Structure 1
Amino acid sequence: MNHHLPPADPALDRFADLPNGLQLCFRTYGHPDHPPIVLIAGLGLQLVSWPQALIDGLVAEGLYVITLDNRDMGRSSYLPQTPPARWRLLLDRIPSGHYLISDMANDVIALLDHLGAEQAHVLGMSMGGMIAQNVAAQAPQRVLSLTSIFSTTGNKQVGQPAASTIWRMLTNRPAWNLPQAQDKFVQLMRHIGNPEVPGVEALWRQHMALAWQRTTPELSLQGYERQVTAIVASGDRTGLLHRIQAPTLVLHGDRDYIVHPSGGEATARAISGAQLHTLVGMRHQLDAAITPALLELIVPHVRDAQR
C-alpha cells in the first residue's frame, strides 16, 4: 500500500498575498479547469500532512486539489502576538483581539479569490473541519459541498478529548531537535493514531522531518499555541452551522481520542440535511490505509453536489 506523503520540495510551494496582509503558502494538483476542492489541515499540521494517495485519488476523479498551510503554520505568515499561557485558556481568559476560526476561514476564501475560483468543494480535518464549516457558513454561495472529518462544533459538551489525551497535551514539553520531535510525535500518535497500520511509525517520522524542513520549532510552537487560542476563543459555533446550505458529509472514527465522536454527531445535527458516516476503527489519523474508505464516501458526495 502506498504510504508516501507529499514531497518537501520548496519549489512546489506557491504563495498568495491576501488583502489582510498575510501570505498563505499553497499547492495545487490536477487540472485548473476542473472543479476545485480545498483541503484544510488540522491544528499544527501543514499542507504536507495529507496522504498523497488521497490527493491522487481526488485528482483521478477529475478534481483540482488545493492544499494550504493555515496562518501560523508551515510556510504561511506567522502572527506577531505572544500566545496566552495554557492556564488562561482553561479559565476562558482569552486576550481580546485574538484571531478566530472565522478569520482563518476568511483566509481560505481570499485564497479562492487569488486563484479565481468562484466556487469550490471544501474539505477539512479536525481544526480544518472547523475552518471548512465556517467557510460554508460565511460564504454559502462559494461552497459546492462541505466535508468535515473528525471535527466538532465548539460546544464544550461534545467532541472533547479523552482524559488520557488531555493529560498528554498538558504535560507535553517542546522539542528543540528533530529526533526528539519525532520521538514525541510517535508517542502521541501511538495514542491518538492507529499504530497497527503497517509502516506507519516510519511515516510519522517522515511527516515530522517534512514539517521541520518547512519551518522552525520556535515558529511552529508559537503558531500552534495561537491556533489553539483561536479554537478556544471561537467558542460554540453551533448557531453559525445552522446557516450552512451546502450538501454536507460528516466523517468520524469510532475510536477518536482527541475529538470524541459526539463532536461529529453534533456537527451533523447542526447542519440541515448533513449525512454522518462513522468509520469503524478509524482514529484521529488520515493515512493511505484509510484513504480508499474515505474516497468511497467523499467522491460520490462531491459528484452529487456537482450535479
Structure 2
Amino acid sequence: MPQLTANGITLEYDTFGDPADPALLLVMGLGAQMTAWDPGLCQLLVDKGFHVIRFDNRDAGLSQSFDDHPVDAAAVMAGDASSAPYKLADMADDAAALLAELGIDRAHVVGASMGGMIVQELLIRHPDRLLSACSIMSTTGDTTVGASTPEAMAALQAPPPQTAEEAGEAAVRASRVIGSTGFPFDEERVRAAGKASFERARRPMGFVRQFAAIIASGDRTEGLRSVTVPTLVIHGEADPLLNVSGGKATAAAIPNSRLLVIPGMGHDLPAPAWPQIVDAIADNAARAGSSATV
C-alpha cells in the first residue's frame, strides 16, 4: 500500500474505485487501522459512484508512530490527558493534508467513532475541504452525553493481546460486549479480523496516545454550530460504548444535519446494516450538489 508525507508525518493509505469519481475519505476510530473499513463496505461505496480513500491515522497501523513522545498511560486512563502529544485537531489536519497531497480539492468524508470526532474537527477547521460529512457512532466531546457502560469501558481498557491468536479471541470478547445486538454475530469473521489486525501492526501505546487526544480535545459543540456542510449523523440505538445520546447531541449541534438511528446497532458496523448506511451516505452526499475535484 502507498505512503505519503502529509502535515509533516508519514501516512499509509489505499484507494478503491475510479479516481475520476468524487473522492470519499474514510477515517477510522481509536486504535483501529484503516483495514477496519471492510473492503466489502468500500465496494458498496464505489458502486454508489465514489472514489474511496482509507488511511491509517497517526499512531495506528503503518502510519507514523509517536513512540518518541512519552505519555502517562495510567494518568490518561484515569482521565488526565496533560501528557497528550497531540489532539484531534492535529489528526484532522493530517486528513486535510492527505487530501491536499493527493491533489484532491474537496471530498466527502466519513468517520467512525474517534474518526467521527476527527470529521467534526474537519468540519470546524477545514470546511473548504469538505463536500459533505458523516459522523458515525461518535459524540461531541460534551461529557454529559455519549457515556459508556462500565462493561464497555472495561472492554476498551482490556490488556493488549500478545499474540495473533490472543488478538482474535480478544476481538470476539470485545465484540460480544460492544457490538450490535440486533444483527447476527459473525464470530469467525470478527476473530479473523482481530488476528489480521495484530499481524499487520501492533501499536498499544498508539492507542493510549489517541485516547489521550480524545480527552485533551474537549467539547466541540459550539464549533459545530457554525457548520454549513451537509452533514449526516449515524448512531446505533444499542451502542454501549458511546451512548446514542452522543449522536443525537452531534446532530442537534450541526444546523440542518440529518440523524439516522439504527435499531439494534452497537459500536460496530455490522454487514447487514451496510446497505442502509451506504444509501444514507450517498443521499447526504447528493445534498452537496457538486463533485470532488481531483
Question: Match for 1:100 among 87, 91, 110?
Answer: 87
Identity %: 36
1:215 aligns to what?
201
Question: Match for 1:65 among 45, 52, 67?
Answer: 52
Structure 2, unaligned runs of 5 or more: none
Contact 2:237/2:244 (<8 A) preserved: yes
Superposition TM-score, scaled by structure 2 size: 0.94
2:220 aligns to what?
237
Q: Distance in 1 between matches of 2:181 and 2:149?
A: 18
Shift of 1:59: 0.6
Contact 1:84/1:229 (<8 A) preserved: no
Question: Match for 1:183 among 166, 169, 172?
Answer: 169
Contact 1:71/1:78 (<8 A) preserved: yes
Moved more, 145-154 or 47-56: 47-56
Structure 1, unaligned runs of 5 or more: 1-12
2:5 aligns to what?
17
The verdict on how the C-alpha distance between 1:169 and 1:198 changes in structure 2, with shifts beyond 3 A counting, is: closer
Q: Distance in 2 between matches of 1:152 and 1:304?
A: 23
1:141 counterpart letter in structure 2: D
Superposition TM-score, scaled by structure 1 size: 0.90
Q: How does 1:111-260 map to 2 (within 5 A)?
A: 111-170=98-157, 172-194=158-180, 197-198=183-184, 200-216=186-202, 220-260=203-243
Q: Distance in 2 between matches of 1:93 and 1:44?
A: 16
1:271 to 2:254 alignment:
yes
Which SS does the other structure have where 1:265 is aligned?
A: helix
Moved more, 195-204 or 41-50: 195-204
The count of corresponding residues between Structure 1 and Structure 2 is: 289
Contact 1:195/1:201 (<8 A) preserved: no
Moved more, 102-111 or 203-212: 203-212
Q: What is the Cα-based RMSD across aligned positions, in Å?
A: 1.6
Q: Distance in 2 between matches of 1:124 and 1:138?
A: 15
Contact 1:51/1:288 (<8 A) preserved: no
Give per-residue Cα distances to partners, 1:138-166, cap 9 Å, x unaligned.
11111000100010001110001112212
Contact 1:247/1:273 (<8 A) preserved: yes
Shift of 1:246: 0.5
Shift of 1:93: 5.0
The verdict on how the C-alpha distance between 1:89 and 1:238 changes in structure 2, with shifts beyond 3 A counting, is: farther
